[in-house]
Structure 1
Amino acid sequence: MQIEDWKTFKKIEVDIQKSLSDEIHDFLTKVFNVYLIKLPLQVFKQFEIVRDKLIPLTSRFDQDKYNEYCDSFSKVYRSVLLDKSVSDDIKKLVLELATKTNNFFISRNMTLCIKEIRYYSVKVKALFTDKSLADAIVVIESEGRVVSSTKTDPNGMAYIEVPEGKYTIYLYKNIEEGKYIYEERDIVVPQDSEIIFKVYETKTRSDIEKEREGRPLIREVSESLEESRGGESS
Structure 2
Amino acid sequence: MPRITIIETGLVSPKNRELYGSYPQMFEHMIGAADAAVTFNTVSIPAGEPLPDVGGLEAILITGSSAGVYDGFDWIAPLEEFVRAAHDGKVPMVGVCFGHQLIAQALGGMVRKSEKGWGLGRHVYDIAPHNGLIEGAHIAIACSHQDQVITPPAGATTILSSDFTPYAGLLYAGGTTLSVQPHPEFSVGFALACCEMVAHKGDAPDSVVATAKTSLAEPLESELLGGAITRFLT
TM-score normalised per structure 1: 0.26
Q: Per chain length, whose mean CA-contact separation is higher, i.e. which structure has more relative contact order (CA < 8 Å, sep 6+)?
A: 2
TM-score normalised per structure 2: 0.26
Larger Rg: 1
